[in-house]
């Protein structure tokens, strides 16, 4: 079974081919430089850029693989959550291709795609606990199978990745800021007393990072010299960190606070569901070195296997969409052409149709 994956949920345009569970090829165009001028993603610009680059990426993918449009059995597309205009670009392309070729159409939950992405690199075992940490979401999931995910907790306000980007903006670091906070934090030693571990003095499994963001902002107000006078180029950040140890200390402390908050809630979930065989950590913030380190310690403490995707699979990509689509197709699931995009803030419906399974199709 050959699956095309299409990803246009935010500011990455991606196409990928997965065949028999293996990634064959992928194309990716990023908009980071465009949106860095504004310090964040501008939805209207993002959707227009998806529209501009999607067809050239498609032609390049066909040329690289030697495939024709009718060679795909399944067209999988990220249908949400994300920016509505961006999602509609990918969804329209997917529907047109499915209608023209007769391929099965499958709308993929972008968040579940992140959690299943490590399956491209290693075997996933179920049941597992999924920890999804990205720019827009911080969530815990009970994963009973590739198609059965129950959300246990979610962010009540700012997600972890959003908090990283807001701190970077306060410090006048380039966008996207999470990787620069991680880079600077690696040069310093965290001070556990500098910033609070947010929203852990409770019994629930939800997250909140707004208090941490506020604490960091207040610290910068008290120490205005921490804010860089001019935004540096990305290749200058490390040297700046070496020259400004207090800046590295703040970033290290911020990394520590986020990682500890995630681990405390993940441990709580593992204790309440001790049957979990793996701890799967995914999403853009799963690339953070402090998060990876703390999650490794937690997995060892709880006696579960840690699953971390490679760094290239942490960010938005079409490979995870194609792989998730393949798993759903094997389970006999798909969509009709009335599939709708679901923007961030709305719950994705379980509106799959039953089709013949992969072996019978």
- What are the binding residues? 110, 114, 132-136, 165, 178, 182, 288, 316
> Residue 336: CB partners within 8 Å, gap ≥ 6?
105, 353
| DSSP string covering 30-92 | E-HHHHHTTTS--HHHHHHHHHHHHHHHHHHHHHHHT--GGG-SEEEEEEESS-HHHHHHHHH
Binding-site sequence positions for substrate? 132-136, 165, 178, 182, 288
| DSSP string covering 167-216 | HHHHHTPPSS-HHHHHHHHTTS---TTTS--TT-SSSSS-B--HHHHHHH
Total count of residues recorded for the chain: 361
Q: What is the DSSP letter of 231?
A: P
> Residue 159: CB partners within 8 Å, gap ≥ 6?
133, 134, 135, 136, 137, 138, 207, 209
- Chain position carrying tokens 């306000």: 157
What does the alpha-carbon distance between residue 292 and residue 259 come to, in Å, rounded to a whole number?
A: 8
> Residue 175: CB partners within 8 Å, gap ≥ 6?
32, 35, 36, 38, 39, 40, 165, 168, 169
Rounded to whole angstroms, what are the CA distances from 8 to 31, 51, 77, 240?
11, 10, 8, 34
Binding-site sequence positions for Fe cation? 110, 114, 316
User: What separation, in Å, do the N-terminal and C-terminal C-alpha atoms of the chain show?
Assistant: 9
| Lookup: tokens for 301 | 């403490």
């Amino acid at each position: 079974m050959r699956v095309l994956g299409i990803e246009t949920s935010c500011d990455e345009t991606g196409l990928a081919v997965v065949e028999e569970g293996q990634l064959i090829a992928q194309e990716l165009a990023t908009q980071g430089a465009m949106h860095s001028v504004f310090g964040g993603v501008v939805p209207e610009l993002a959707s227009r850029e998806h529209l501009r680059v999607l067809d050239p990426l498609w032609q390049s993918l066909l040329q690289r693989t030697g495939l024709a449009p009718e060679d795909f059995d399944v067209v999988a597309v990220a249908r949400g959550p994300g920016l509505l205009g961006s999602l509609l670009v990918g969804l329209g392309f997917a529907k047109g291709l499915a209608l023209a070729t007769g391929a099965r159409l499958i709308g993929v939950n972008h968040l579940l795609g992140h959690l299943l992405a490590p399956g491209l690199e290693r075997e996933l075992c179920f049941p597992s606990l999924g920890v999804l940490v990205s720019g827009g979401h911080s969530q815990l999931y009970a994963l009973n199978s590739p198609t059965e995910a129950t959300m246990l907790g979610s962010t009540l306000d700012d997600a972890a990745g959003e908090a990283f980007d807001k701190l970077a903006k306060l410090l006048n670091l380039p966008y996207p800021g999470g990787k620069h906070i991680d880079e600077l934090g690696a040069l310093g030693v965290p001070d556990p007393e500098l910033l609070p571990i947010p929203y852990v003095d409770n019994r629930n499994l939800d997250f909140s990072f707004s208090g941490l963001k506020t604490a960091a902002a207040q610290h910068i107000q008290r120490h205005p010299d921490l804010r860089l006078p001019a935004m540096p180029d990305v290749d200058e950040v490390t040297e700046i960190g070496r020259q400004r140890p207090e800046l590295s200390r703040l970033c290290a402390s911020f990394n520590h606070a986020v990682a500890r908050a995630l681990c405390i809630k993940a441990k709580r979930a593992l204790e309440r569901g001790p049957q979990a065989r793996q701890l799967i950590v995914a999403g853009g913030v799963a690339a953070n070195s402090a998060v990876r380190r703390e999650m490794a310690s937690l997995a060892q403490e709880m006696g579960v296997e840690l699953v971390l995707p490679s760094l290239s699979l942490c960010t938005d990509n079409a490979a995870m969409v194609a792989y998730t689509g393949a798993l759903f197709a094997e389970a006999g699931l798909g969509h009709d052409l009335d599939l709708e995009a679901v923007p961030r803030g709305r719950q994705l419906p379980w509106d799959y149709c039953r089709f013949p399974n992969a072996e019978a199709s």
